[in-house]
Amino acid sequence: MSHATNITALRSDFPILAERVNGQPLTYLDSAATTQKPAAVIAAIADYYRHDNANVHRAAHALADRATAAFEEARRKVQKLLGAQRAHEIIFTRGTTESINLVAQSHGGHRLRAGDEILVTELEHHSNIVPWQLVAARKGAKVLAVRVTANGEIDLDDLDSKIGERTRIVAVGHASNALGTINPVDEIVRRAHDAGAVVLIDGAQATAHLDIDVAALDVDFYAISGHKAYGPTGIGALYGKESLLESMPPWQGGGEMIETVTIEHTTFNRLPFKFEAGTPHIAGAIGFGAAIDYLAAIDAQALANHEATLLRLVTDRLAQTEGVRLIGTARDKVSIVSFLLDGQHPHDVATLLDQQGVAVRSGHHCAMPLMQRLGIPGTVRASLGLYNSPADVDRLVRAVEKTRALLT
């Protein structure tokens, strides 16, 4: 497959970007919430329903064979994306949230004891906090949070002070959805393992922007969502080390995850099926595989340069815009910029931007502890994808300037 280097030309692969919003051309700057989908992904989903629609693994007819082959090929694509050594270490889930809940309830529910500690950070999405609170409450364990510095970076000295002999699980995001901060996950994994803890990485915001190699990281669990990486909603994956997955009890019961069932007793299927109860999101997995193929056909360095250029541009332009205060200025970031407009609520700003055809996200971004740490109610967040351009940055800045004039 050829590797595209003209990133700007790829915008035409995304049909929705031709839409008009409130009479204006769409400038979509909400990719951290969900990315738009290229035509290749849309076509892959439609082709499955048109030509191969059948349930997987449990039939001997041709459609089921084709559906099963495509579904399992998608698993192998996720395996390659994450650098996993074995395909059965990839569990299909509904997304990062379900993946983290699976680990919390199965691994945490099986291993945690009263007095144990789970370490998260103040930078986490609620999906990497609440599941740990739920299992901690059930098991008598405690959730602790590592502090975040004023510029939005994890305080590694505070990590060292809080990790200890009671720490059983360390759960941290690879990149922050609220600020874009790229966390030093290799160093965090090393320190956690030195303390004897298991590590889960929330990779939702990393998948579309960073190279991921779970084997090189030596991470125990890694959770991702397809819709953050140009794939469909409702599909994601959990990577887990084989030895850990084998030791964990099933999380949900039903079809597919069983080997034998009697009224008195059930034995469970092998990996990965032990954790995939019921009919999976087959079309979603196939669409996710198509998204992985789409990204693989783009020159990785060209894409990284494109996003880095846009991040510098939008950061510099907003920093020079009167009344704008940037929130989160970490040295290493994915292409996310959070900001406030002096004296204005983020929701009011986002609403006026939308009226000008500029789609951003406003609020606490499912990161309320972070906002409390920073002493703010929320931010306006502009998050960029491969389909954005300097023209989009220009439209954002001009819309912010107009919004400021309207509100003052």
Catalytic positions are 366
Q: Are 135 and 105 in contact (CB under 8 A)?
A: yes
Find how far residue 93's CA is from the centre of its chain.
13
| SS (HEC) of the chain | CCCECCHHHHHHHCHHHHCEECCEECEECECCCCCCCCHHHHHHHHHHHHHHCCCCCCCCCHHHHHHHHHHHHHHHHHHHHHCCCCHHHEEEECCHHHHHHHHHHHHHHHHCCCCCEEEEECCCCHHHCHHHHHHHHHHCCEEEEECECCCCCECHHHHHHHCCCCEEEEEEECECCCCCEECCHHHHHHHHHHCCCEEEEECCCCCCCCCCCHHHHCCCEEEEEHHHHCCCCCCEEEEECHHHHHHCCCCCCCCCCEEEECCCCEEECCCCHHHCCCCCCHHHHHHHHHHHHHHHCECHHHHHHHHHHHHHHHHHHHHCCCCEEEECCCCCECCEEEEEECCCCHHHHHHHHHHCCEECEEECCCCHHHHHHHCCCCEEEEECCCCCCHHHHHHHHHHHHHHHHHHC
Give the 3-state DSSP-derived string for 301-323, with helices as H, strands as E and coil as C: HHHHHHHHHHHHHHHHHHHCCCC
Phi, psi of 133 (to 5 degrees): -65, -40
Q: By C-alpha distance, which of 392, 232, 287, 237 is closest to 47? A: 287
Give the span between the Cα atoms of 54 and 59, in whole angstroms: 9
